[in-house]
Amino acid sequence: MAKESFDKEVQFLRMLVLTSGAYSRQQFAERLGISVHTFDKTLRRLKEIVGTVYQQLPETQGREFANMLRFNYYESADPMLLFLYRAKSVKESESYRLSVLIAALQQRSLTAMELLDVCCGGLPSDFPMPDEKTIRSDLRYLEEVGVVRREAGGRPYRYAIHNSLVNELTEQERIDLYAFVDVMANTQVPSVQGYLLRDSLKKAFKLQDAMEPFLYRYHYFSRILDEAHLFTLLHAIRDRRSITFLYFSPKNRQSYGSKNTNPLFERETEGKQARMLPLKVVYDHQYGRWYLLGYARHDIVKYRVEGITQIVEEEDKAEEALFAERMELLQLRTRFSWLIDTGRAVLIRARFFNPEGAKVNFIRERVELQGQWGEITETTGESFIYEITVNGTTEIKPWLRSFGSSCEVLEPLQLRREFIAEWKEIQAYYEPVRENL
Amino acid sequence: MNLFEKIFNYQLISRLEESGSYTLTSHERAWLKTMLAHPAADEAFMPETLRKLRAVLESEPTLGLSDHVVQKARSAERQVYHPLLRPLRRIIMNGSGIRLTFRLKNGGVYTGHYGFPYRLEYSMVKREWYLLWHHMRHQSFMSTRLANIVDVHEEAIAPDRSAALPAQISAQLEGRKETAIIEVVRLYNQELSRILYAFSCFEKEVDYDGDSDTYRIKLTFLGDESEYVLSKIRFLGKRVRVAEGARLQRRMLESTSKALARYAAETQ
């Protein structure tokens, strides 16, 4: 059986969350490169998952579904998009069997044969009775994902649930652990396993869906969608394997191409087939986006993870020495990247003006907090100079511009001119409203 | 490691819940082990708990990210945990009041103020924790950096007050909400994804007018957040313009005029 891919669901949810229901069904489907029928089917499936996980049935339309997923800061502590990771399909009989096995092992350790008895007794009559082979393969799976472990001792092996992490903690320790997991899942990357653990602990500690006292302001909650690819990419990097994928540049209107099995119906997609040796995954805190950097066509190549679909790992491994060489090249080329720019290094000098009459110099605080490896070289009563060597000016520019009139670009001259031109253009946007103000 | 595992399947999870059982996977343990290596762990647990957790996880692998994942343009991570986080969380969960002594921005100190703690808030931008609380005497909503708290202890509060306050506070916050409409300048529609990502940390609604091919983003934010909203708008530069929201428009006009004044010699 082909490996189940969640590309469509990831792209679907990302578009839904980012555009917050701006599109009609037709527009939405068109931009995803799927049919309206597939749109409806996907939405139905996602709703079913959300309905099961959160016990609240969403309404019928896409817009309302988007509203439900909408960022509601003070009211929801649960990361809504996490349900994506609950989408792996499992046959009903299998999910029933696994739940019976786990519930039995929660009580005490058992052998495969004992579990077979439990299972045969616990399954509704309309499910097929499992045989020993099925139970053994279930146990193998549960062992593989670390849910159960085989106890020491000879045959017949006894299996036990692997929950020692929580069983050995006192009440207060459990509270501290839950709080720690919540904080780290929200403030660090990656988060998905942390959110899953948060869910598990909630069940283990029988916590109500009560108010969670922590809030995270300016949190890019949709970033967890891109983590869907993270471990596939890391796996390829660790194994030094090249990958191929179908890439949809976020600048294109279409962000997914349905993979039709019948070539007669194959549509033209806007995606481009890409191949590379992956080297690094970069998380950009400015936008909450992920990038993949690698080596292809004699150079460093860069892709946004949100545009990557249908990843396939290649058979051959890169030679260790060759891989190290590529990695070294990447380190060298990205040494001065504000984000991922590998262009020519340039020295930027900017004057920042201290806020007038403010009790706290929040401008300086922000430059020190966000200015990466840049340095403050001169300080006077009214201002200070900040210097940084970066690859190209494109990536740092938005940050400098965000300071508005508190930042004056001194060097390079070209950047200074660009700032003047841009401020003029932006000012022109507001000229018509000047009279009304 | 595959994040799409059968064991995480929604039907399975709901069945387990019915039987009151739960699972912990090696994915989750590997993540926890990785996070326990962060300096924040020392602040989050009593030393004994930390020892216990690390011992339980000793034979587990970590996620092994450090060599392959890089984080860029991050604010320096000053603080992930704060020593007051644990006691304050407990007070909030107890529904109690607080007696607070805290430093002000100008260096002064307020001593022994009686309040009701509402939430603990971490700013992803400033990388710092704040206590959101209700000042009982002034009947006002307060936000105080944990770093500025000199002393705090739990204080009794009438149960009916404690039950009523959260709703009162959220109504107060609701009343302070503002909206603005940000329009994507059509020339930059191609960069829509980047623009929407930048605003994805706000409460927002997007409207698309197919006839004019125009996107409008309705942002909802608290009044005191408007400076941050403005910095985002300036961050995006020519790509967006404030279509509705007189205050933001006025501030943008002011900002651009002042910025141009910095380059006065060249713009004359």
Residues of B in contact with A416 (CB under 8 A): 263, 266
**Would you say A378 and A411 are in contact if contact means Cβ atoms under 8 Å apart?**
no
Q: Give the span between the Cα atoms of B210 and B213, in whole angstroms.
A: 5
Start-end of H helices in A108-249:
112-122, 132-144, 164-167, 171-187, 192-204, 227-239
- Give the model's pLDDT for residue A76: 59
Task: Decide if B2 and A179 are in contact by the 8 Å CB cutoff.
Answer: no
Mean of the per-residue pLDDT values for chain B? Answer: 92
- Using one digit for the tens of pLDDT, what is the confidence trace for A146-172? 999 999 888 889 999 999 888 889 989
The beta-carbon neighbor of A398 closest among B22, B235, B267 is B235
**Among the CATH numbers 1.10.1750.10, 2.40.240.10, 1.20.1260.10, 1.10.10.10, which is that of A92-162?**
1.10.10.10
Sequence-distant (≥ 6) Cβ neighbours of residue A289 within 8 angstroms: A223, A226, A283, A304, A305, A306, B197
Mean of the per-residue pLDDT values for chain A? Answer: 86
CATH 3.30.70.240 is held by the domain B177-261: yes
A20 touching B, CB under 8 A? yes
**pLDDT at A255 exceeding the cut of 80:** no
Residues of A in contact with B8 (CB under 8 A): 85-86, 88, 196
Q: Answer with the residue of higher pLDDT: B137 or A253.
A: B137
Q: Answer with the residue of higher pLDDT: A48 or A327.
A: A327
**Cα–Cα nearest to A242, from A318, A322, A325:** A318
Q: Which two tokens stand for residue A169?
A: 């903690």
**Which contiguous run of DSSP H or E holds residue B154?**
strand B149-155
- Using one digit for the tens of pLDDT, what is the confidence trace for A294-312? 999 999 999 999 889 889 9
Q: Answer with the residue of higher pLDDT: A67 or A2.
A: A67
Highest-confidence segment of A80-89, A204-213, B61-70, B173-182:
B173-182
- In Å, how far from its chain's centre is CA A277? 21
Least confident window among A118-132, A394-408, B34-48: A118-132
- Give the model's pLDDT for residue A268: 42
- Using one digit for the tens of pLDDT, what is the confidence trace for A26-44? 888 888 888 888 888 888 8
User: Per-residue pLDDT averaged across A64-92, rounded?
Assistant: 72
User: Per-residue pLDDT averaged across A376-386, rounded?
Assistant: 93
Instruction: Tell me chain A's radius of gyration from C-alpha atoms.
Output: 27
Task: Decide if B235 and A6 are in contact by the 8 Å CB cutoff.
Answer: no
- Give the model's pLDDT for residue A226: 87
Q: What is the residue-wise DSSP string for A33-51? A: T--HHHHHHHHHHHHHHHH
- Give the model's pLDDT for residue A333: 95
Q: Give the span between the Cα atoms of B113 and B135, in whole angstroms.
A: 8
**Would you say B134 and B118 are in contact if contact means Cβ atoms under 8 Å apart?**
yes
Q: Is B95 left (phi over 0), alpha (psi -120 to 50) or beta?
A: left
**Would you say B116 and B157 are in contact if contact means Cβ atoms under 8 Å apart?**
yes
Chain B interface disruption, residue of A6, A13, A96, A217, most B CBs within 10 A: A217
Q: Give the span between the Cα atoms of A158 and A115, in whole angstroms.
A: 10
Pairing status of strand B128-135 against strand B140-145: antiparallel
Domain boundaries, chain B: 7-56, 85-175, 177-261
Confidence grade of residue A266 (pLDDT, cut at 50, 70, 90) = very low
- Give the model's pLDDT for residue A59: 46
Q: Which residues pair with B214 in a beta bridge?
A: B209
Q: Half-sphere exposure (CA, 13 Å, Cβ side) for B123? A: 18
- Give the model's pLDDT for residue B56: 93
CATH of domain A345-431: 3.30.70
Residues of B in contact with A431 (CB under 8 A): 253
- Give the model's pLDDT for residue A209: 56
**pLDDT at A256 exceeding the cut of 80:** no
The pTM for the full model equals 0.91
Amino acid at position A57, single letter = L
Residues of B in contact with A430 (CB under 8 A): 241-242, 249, 252-253, 256
DSSP A246: E
- Using one digit for the tens of pLDDT, what is the confidence trace for A42-74? 888 888 887 777 655 444 455 566 666 665 555
User: Per-residue pLDDT averaged across B84-97, rounded?
Assistant: 93
> Chain A, 75-104: which have a CB under 8 Å from a chain B CB?
83, 85-90, 92, 94-96, 98-99, 102-103
User: Per-residue pLDDT averaged across A186-214, rounded?
Assistant: 86
Sequence-distant (≥ 6) Cβ neighbours of residue B228 within 8 angstroms: A218, B125, B221
Task: Please give the class, per CATH, of domain B85-175.
Answer: mainly beta
Q: Which residues pair with A355 in a beta bridge?
A: none
- Give the model's pLDDT for residue A267: 41
Amino acid at position B261, single letter = A
> Chain B, 93-122: which have a CB under 8 Å from a chain A CB?
93, 105-106, 119-122
Instruction: Tell me chain B's radius of gyration from C-alpha atoms.
Output: 24
Confidence grade of residue A432 (pLDDT, cut at 50, 70, 90) = confident
Residue appearing with tokens 């006292």 = A213
- Using one digit for the tens of pLDDT, what is the confidence trace for B15-65? 998 888 999 999 999 999 999 999 999 999 999 999 999 999 999 988 888
DSSP B77: -
> What is this model's ipTM?
0.94
The CA-CA-CA angle for residues B11, B13, B19, to 5°, reads 105
> Chain A, 383-402: which have a CB under 8 Å from a chain B CB?
397-399, 401-402
- Give the model's pLDDT for residue A261: 41
Q: Which two tokens stand for residue B146?
A: 């944990």
Give percent of chain B above pLDDT 70. 99
> Chain B, 26-45: which have a CB under 8 Å from a chain A CB?
26-32, 35, 38, 40-41, 44-45
The beta-carbon neighbor of A194 closest among B24, B31, B261 is B31
- Give the model's pLDDT for residue A16: 82
**Would you say B49 and A126 are in contact if contact means Cβ atoms under 8 Å apart?**
no
CA distance B7 to chain A (A): 8
The beta-carbon neighbor of A145 closest among B7, B230, B237 is B7
- Give the model's pLDDT for residue A60: 46
